[in-house]
């Protein structure tokens, strides 16, 4: 099967924001931000990036693929750990430069490589005028 291709953004803001053509706006490095939330309760699990290939594979297979910026490679999330992400829904934002993936996580349900369910496990707060982190949940 030939890989999906994504058209260039339209000429007008109205088409971009109100149209029904999906024209993802990849940045200068060819990446788009993907916000990953749990399909069950909406919890924020992770933030990752996709290039056109990762996005195409995600749409075609229903399994989340990303671009690993640290390893410069296509990354099928959970391939090693078993915590594969089954995509329930994909959304895009008004100017089509960000995506939301609503997913069901397989395996033991951990999304973070530290073993936690979510990568967002620490709160930022000010203590004596200085920002500190404390673990949540």
Contacts to a second copy by CB under 8 A:
4, 6, 17-22, 33, 35, 37, 41-44, 46-47, 59-60, 89-94, 98-100, 112-114, 116, 119-126, 129-134, 136
* Closest to a second copy by CB, 60 or 79: 60
Query: What is the closest distance, in whole angstroms, from the C-beta atom of residue 30 to a second copy in the complex?
Result: 15
For strands 122-127 and 44-50, give the pairing: unpaired
Please name every residue paired with 126 in a beta bridge, in sequence order, or none if there are none: 131
* Closest to a second copy by CB, 8 or 20: 20
- The answer to whether 120 and 114 are in contact (CB under 8 A) is no
- Considering only CA atoms, give the Rg of the chain: 17
Query: What is the closest distance, in whole angstroms, from the C-beta atom of residue 50 to a second copy in the complex?
Result: 12
* Closest to a second copy by CB, 21 or 79: 21
Which of 47, 51, 58, 119 is closest to 84 using CA atoms? 58
């Amino acid at each position: 099967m030939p890989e999906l291709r994504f058209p260039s953004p339209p000429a007008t803001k109205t088409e971009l924001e109100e149209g029904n053509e999906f024209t993802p706006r990849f940045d200068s490095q060819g990446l788009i931000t993907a916000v990953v939330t749990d399909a069950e309760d909406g919890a924020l699990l992770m933030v990752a990036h996709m290039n056109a290939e990762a996005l195409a594979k995600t749409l075609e297979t229903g399994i989340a693929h990303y671009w690993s910026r640290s390893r410069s490679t296509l990354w099928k999330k959970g391939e090693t750990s078993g915590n594969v992400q089954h995509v329930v829904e994909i959304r895009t934002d008004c100017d089509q430069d960000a995506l939301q993936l609503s997913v069901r996580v397989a395996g033991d349900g951990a999304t973070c490589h530290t073993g936690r369910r979510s990568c967002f496990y620490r709160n930022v707060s000010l203590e004596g005028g200085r920002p500190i982190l404390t673990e949540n949940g």
